[in-house]
Structure 1
Amino acid sequence: MRPAIAIRDMVVSFDGYRALDSVNLDVEDGASFGVVGESGSGKSTLLRAVAGLNFFSSGILSVNGQLYEGRKRDKNFYRQVQMVFQDPYGSLHPRQTVDRLLREPLTIHGFTDVETRITRALDEVGLGTGFRFRFSHQLSGGQRQRIAIARALILEPKVLLLDEPTSALDASIQAEILNLLEQVRKDRALTFILVSHDLAVISHMCENLAVMKSGKIVETLSVEQLRHGGFSTDYTRQLMTASEGFRRR
């Protein structure tokens, strides 16, 4: 089966520093794949390079068989791939209503069934149309992240890139958002790439994961292997120890 996302020898540099150093990765269609590592390991840089927010100077990115280079992305890419960012306070325009935030991508991509899609998107994330004409400052952090998820889903993408989607939220809200994402993936048969520093989140959401250190993938393994200690590097063992809340079951 052809992977939904294929990355070969990807390099991202900032002022001569290699933030990504010849990264290789395959994510199968319909999978939920985790990327973990300490701060500065390159995991968010990888996600942003896939999304076209970071330029990669060499290597190959393939999305459902379509090749992309550098930072170039077309409309078809954004119909297939959407991203949910870490900070629900910074990712929504403070002077736009929820209606405008959801309407904008539909307008850009030429959809005509705007009303239906906005209503469906709000219902899907558990908010309803009562939130449609509120501004982001009138919403809680969890509500803002639900809107960000609705905005990502409204174009009916095949792939969601999730950059620490719950790390800025209270613990009680984190579980709600993770359960929402898990249900959405099942309902829509989506492919997830989830970046997190928290192995508990990865073990809950993902089947397989890559461990990153200093811009490189040092290990790829299944969550079952992780739970049963089937890892091969001391770095992964150290991450398990340092990841607050992680418990083997």
Structure 2
Amino acid sequence: MLSVEGLGVTFRRGGDTVRAVRDVSFTVDRGESFGIVGESGSGKSTVLRAICGLSPTSAGVIAMGGQTLSAPRSAAFYRQVQMVFQDPYASLHPRHTVDRVLSEPLAIHGFDRREDRIEQALADVGLGEGFRFRYPHQLSGGQRQRVAIARALILEPRVLLLDEPTSALDASIQAEVLNLLDRLRAERGLTYLMVSHDLAVVSHMCERLIVMQHGRAVEQLSRDALAAHRAETDYTRSLLAASEGYSPAPV
């Protein structure tokens, strides 16, 4: 479904050059949920932004369905690939109702039956008709993220790029959103590419993953290998140890 080969992303400002992503390669199969993990600044979110055309690529090839993607991305690409951002407070326009948030992509891409599609999109993410004309400030964080997921799904894409979709939410809400994403993937045959710093989230959602450090992919693991702590690099082992938390020192 999706392949990334030798991806590089370089940012330049004045005389400074930052190589945010260096020679990253991976493939994602149709219907698979694939993870990218690493600490802050490792380049994992930049990979997602490069795939959807929000970050400029300095090297490599990104292809979907065997076809190399052009820059800028076409409207047809955005019909097939949608992104859910980390912060539901920032990704929704504060002066737009939920109805407008959902109707705009339908209008841009020329969809018919817009009323039915909006109602169905809200139902699909567990929000009723009563949420349709609310503003973002009238919603909880979990409800806002459900709206963001509905906005991504309303164009009937085949691939969702998920950039830390639960990290800005309370722990009690995170599981609800992850279970929602799991159900939607099973029902629609979606392909997920998920970025997270949380190994527990990735092990729950993803069959395979890569680990990134300083802009490079340092290791690729299966879910089973992750669960069995069969890591090959010290960096991945340190992430695994950190994900287990800590024990208080004995008194």
TM-score normalised according to structure 1 size: 0.95
String of CA shifts for 1:100-151, please: whole Å, max 9, x gaps. Answer: 0000000000001101110110000000111000111110000000000000
Query: For structure 1, which runs of at least 5 residues remain unmatched after alignment?
Result: none
CA RMSD, 1 decimal: 1.1
1:30 aligned partner: 31
1:148 aligned partner: 148
- Note if contact 2:9-2:58 (Cα within 8 Å) is conserved in structure 1: yes
2:69 aligned partner: 68
2:249 aligned partner: none
CA–CA distance in 1 between the matches of 2:168 and 2:242?
Answer: 19
Q: How many residues align?
A: 242
TM-score normalised according to structure 2 size: 0.94
- Note if contact 2:229-2:240 (Cα within 8 Å) is conserved in structure 1: no
Matched, 1:11 2:8: yes
1:180 CA displacement: 0.2
1:207 aligned partner: 207
Counterparts of residues 1-249 of structure 1 (less than 5 Å): 4-15=1-12, 16-69=17-70, 71-243=71-243
- Note if contact 1:10-1:23 (Cα within 8 Å) is conserved in structure 2: yes
- Note if contact 1:197-1:243 (Cα within 8 Å) is conserved in structure 2: no
Query: For structure 2, which runs of at least 5 residues remain unmatched after alignment?
Result: 247-251
Rg larger for? 2
CA–CA distance in 1 between the matches of 2:125 and 2:61?
Answer: 34
Q: AA paired with 1:146?
A: R
CA–CA distance in 1 between the matches of 2:245 and 2:192?
Answer: 22
CA–CA distance in 2 between the matches of 1:54 and 1:134?
Answer: 32
- Percent identical residues: 62
1:22 CA displacement: 1.0
1:245 CA displacement: 5.9
String of CA shifts for 1:76-99, please: whole Å, max 9, x gaps. Answer: 100100000000000000000000
1:244 CA displacement: 5.1
1:66 CA displacement: 2.2
